[in-house]
Every structure is written in structure tokens, then in C-alpha cells.
Amino acid sequence: MVNFKKLIAETVYDEALGLSLEEIEGMIEIPADESMGDYAFPCFRLAKALRKAPQLIAADIAARAGDAEAFEKVENVNAYVNFFIDRAYFAGEVIDEVNRLGNAYGRSNSGEGRKVIVEYSSPNIAKPFHIGHIRSTVIGNAIYKLYDAVGFDVIRINHLGDYGTQFGKMIVAYRKWGSEEELAKDPIKSLLSYYTRFHKEAEEHPELEDEARETFVKLEAGEPEELALWEKFRKLSLEEFNRVYDMLGITFDSYAGESFYSDKMPRFIQELKDKGLLIESQGAQIVDLEPYDLGAAMITKSDGSSLYVTRDIAAAVYRKETYDFYKCIYVVASQQNLHFKQWKKVLELMGYEWQKDCIHVPFGLVSLSDGDDIKMMSTREGRVVFLEDVLNTAVAKTAEIMREKDAQGVDIDEVSKEVGIGAVIFQELSNNRIKDYVFSWDKVLNFDGETGPYVQYTHARASSVLRKAEAAGIDVDAIGKIDPAHLSSDSAYTLAKLLYRVPEVVEEAAAKYEPSIVTRHLVDIAQSFNKFYHDEHILVDDEDEKNAKLALVKASRTVLANCLGLLGIAAPERM
């Protein structure tokens, strides 16, 4: 497909300007006011080299660029050259490219030959997979899909929280108050009840905390009884988690959690000592980061047990040595900003120059619409909202809405899963990831607002138009070269421009680790398609006009499905 910025740069280029093609292309702007053209080239920078007023330079460029086939007109306004793309030419180029590439439209090979690791979700085993985990899970999955779409070899890691003093507490609690029968019946809720009870009992019997610490030290040492219970908790937790991942359509390449690095940490503790970075503080081993305004990074506790920083150092080096990554992306809440700053600084002090390629992608908090701040949820107190319950509720509410709307010819059970779960994912990804937001059922399941169901419904609407065409005897897939002159209306041109921008939007979203760039663009496409649908009669008598409009509908459906897929959301044919 024509790169219009590059085409304009080639049109503008002249050796006398003293600028390369790349420099000229970088100067090209998209005017906020469409009446000023589709693209604009400012001439201020050329005045010094050409010893001429910018507006005169603009007039000269406009005069020699005006004959190009791709432009309806080229005019200068003051110091700008404004380029108006020929609408028919543009629509034809876009539709040809989308329908030629199909499912591959929007993808590229810009990252080819480089590995990227994305670490995301990472719940704690033996604890609930709650609504607070959804952000890391779906943002991380979308970032994986974006990097895959731009050609990187992506490794998906679920860095399970399966180590630490909390497991000492869990083992102590299970031994004192648990039962095999309860655990088999409802593993996570049973383990949560034991963990909750531990903290209540510890308020009156603080010696329980010492017992838990001693138990975790035994676990780190590989004591068989502690290890067997830990393995049981881990297995049961993964079975529960995978049920939710299956609902979300999410898979991982590795579940190597914190425990995987337990035998690798001594190497780095010794390395820190050898490099003179480790000092003792009240029995604990720390790296002093006060000179960098980062406090102290604790490496081992006074009882010798490890901490997050220690395990993350071992994990990062293991990943670099194993995968030789180009980037290692950590999708973790903004509450952990200090941890990541400390950890990267320690890696830097250890001499690992590649620490700059370890990228923390933070995100804000989600709260419930009734004011229950999920940040305040506490597994210690047993106050959680299970993610599986949220997803099941979304499916049930969607099925209810669809029955009320009397959806005809629709498998309500199947489509309500696609739409209900898609609605939850879309809301998560429609917000700028760093912002806190409020989870609201009214917003999530709105079929008319800027939501997942609205975009999915638009895809289903486009599919319906194509089905009607097929029923009328038109082989939509066999439509060949079209006459794009029938696609010069405002609504058709606006839609074509949005479809054209998709590859650029995907590249930008990946570069900024920001899936919301795709969701916002998807909403724009859906709104633009619906305007085209309402403004234009598509199945007209004139064959050329009908084929041209059906080709645009087909291209729109393809792009909607492709972009929904990048977010991990299904694209139903009927709703």
C-alpha cells in the first residue's frame, strides 16, 4: 500500500532543500482541521537554506506537486503546503491492501529476529485469583499480542508468586486447622480461610509468626514434609487459575515462578559480596542505595531467607542467559515502582549493562463502582472479589440482555461468553493503563457506548450486510477490482482513513506498551463504520457501486476482527 507520507516526501524532495527524504518525511504533519488537507508540510525550516520567505517556498512546492495522481489538489496556505489526497485513489489503495492481506493486515516484521519476554498475571498460589489481578493479566496479554504482531519472537512468562514467608504461614495454618476433604472440595477458598484465620490467631498468639518463618526456612532448605505441602498447594492453585485463563483465552510459555530461582540465588548473593555491594544491617544483608535516593534493597532477612529483589535478580540473569532477550517487559502495578527502581539499580551496580532492557510497565488501580477500593482488598481478612465470579457474572448479564433483545439466529450461550468476557477485557484496555479507574457493570455491558459490546456489534453488523449480499447471489469473496469513485463520500473517506492507520496504530501501541491506543482506534472505526452504514445505501442496483461499498464493508469487518484479536477479544458474526 502507498505510504502517503513517503510519497509526499518524494514529491517535496529537491537537493536544493538540503534535507534527506527521511528528514522531510519526519516534518510532515496531519492537520487538526481537515479543511487544511490530509497532510501538511511546513516550510519555515527551509527559509535559511534557500534564502527565501517560507510562504514563497510553499508556493513553489505546491506548484510542482499539483500534478501527482494521488492528490486531488495541493495548495499553499502561508508557509504550509497542504496535500489533499484523491479520495477514490485512497479508498482503492486501502481496500486492495486490507482484502489482499486479510488476517495479516496490521501486522509487520519490524521486530523480526529479536526476542521479547513479557511477564504478566503472576498471581500468588494458594491465594484467590481476584479482580485486582485482571489488569496485569489482560494488559500483559495484549502487550504480548502487539509485540507478536510487529514481528518479535515473544516468550510469555507467568512468574507465579509461589515462594516467601506467606507459604510458611499457609503450611502452619493448614496443619493446625485444615483438612484434606475441605481442600479437595474448594481448594482456593479453603486455603484463603486458613490464611485469614492465621492472621486473626496471630494477633493473640504472635509466636505463630515465628513458627511460620521457621517453616519457610525449612521449605527453602527442601525439607520433604514442607515441600510436599507446598507442591500440593501449587498444583491445586494452578488448576484453579487455568480455569480462569481458559475463560480469557490466555496461555503461557512458562510458569517458572519465584521458587524456580531458589537454587540460583546463592550465586548472586556471593557475587554481591565479591563486588563489595552487600553489607549487614541488623542481621539482614542489604545493598545501600541511599546515594541514589532509593533507600536500602534488602537481599536476605536476618534468618537467611530470601526476598523479592534477590529472586528477581536471579530471574533476570537466568532469562538473559537463556533467551538473550532484546527486551524483558514486566507488567506489574505501579505500587511496585520503588521495587523495580531498586532492583534495576542493583543490577546496574553489579555490572549488568543490559538491565536497561528490563522494562517495568506499570498500571493503575481498579476499584468497584460501589466504592470498594480493590487496593484495600485483603486476603488476610478474607475480603476479595474472585475474578472467575466477575467473568461468570458478565456472561450471565450478557445472556440476559441478549434474551431481552430477542436475538434471532444467535447461539446465546456461546455468544454471551464471547461478548461478556470481551466486555470485561475491553473495559480494562480502554483506559490508559497508568490511570486508576472504576469498574462499572453499566459501562462494561453498554451496547451503545464506547465499549467492547459496541465494537463487537459493529463487527456483527458488517457480517450481516455481507450475509445479505451472499443471500442475494453476490459472491463477496470474488469481488475483484472495484471502481473506488463510488467511495468519495465523507463517511466512506473517513472510514478508509481509519482503516489505513491501523498498522501505524499497532506499531505505536507496542512501542508505548499501551493497548488503549488500539481500543480507542477501534471505537473510532466502529463509530465511523456505523455512520457509513446509516449514511449510505449499500445494496444498491448499480453493480459497480454495490461492489465498491461491499468491498469497504468487508475490509472494515476484517480490520475490526484483527484489532479485537490483538486485545484478546472474540469477533462474533452474529449478536
Catalytic positions are 127, 130, 133
> Dihedral sign, CA of 231, 237, 241, 243?
positive
Quick one: which H or E segment has residue 6? helix 4-12
| Cell (9 digits) for 254 | 512458562
By CB neighbour count within 10 A (0-12 exposed, 13-18 middle, 19+ buried), where does 362 fall? Answer: middle
Pairing of strands 39-42, 80-85: antiparallel
By CB neighbour count within 10 A (0-12 exposed, 13-18 middle, 19+ buried), where does 378 fall? Answer: exposed
Cα 447 from Cα 459, distance rounded (Å):
12
Cα 327 from Cα 358, distance rounded (Å):
6
Give 189-211 as a DSSP string.
HHHHHHHHHHHHHHHH-THHHHH
| Cell (9 digits) for 548 | 465498491
Give 507-527 as a DSSP string.
HHHHHTT-THHHHHHHHHHHH
Residue 18 vs residues 183, 242, 347, 415, 447: alpha-carbon distances, Å: 75, 59, 45, 58, 54
Report the SS3 class of residue 466. helix
Quick one: which H or E segment has residue 80? strand 80-85
Q: What angle do CA 477, 482, 488 make, to 5 degrees?
A: 125
Cα 560 from Cα 285, distance rounded (Å):
54
| Cell (9 digits) for 59 | 508556493
Going by C-beta distance under 8 Å and a sequence separation of 6 or more, which residues neighbour residue 216?
164, 165, 167, 168, 305
**Helix intervals (H) in 275-411:** 308-323, 337-349, 387-404
Pairing of strands 358-361, 327-331: parallel
Q: What angle do CA 144, 148, 152 make, to 5 degrees?
A: 110
If you ran DSSP here, which 8-state letter would residue 159 be given?
-
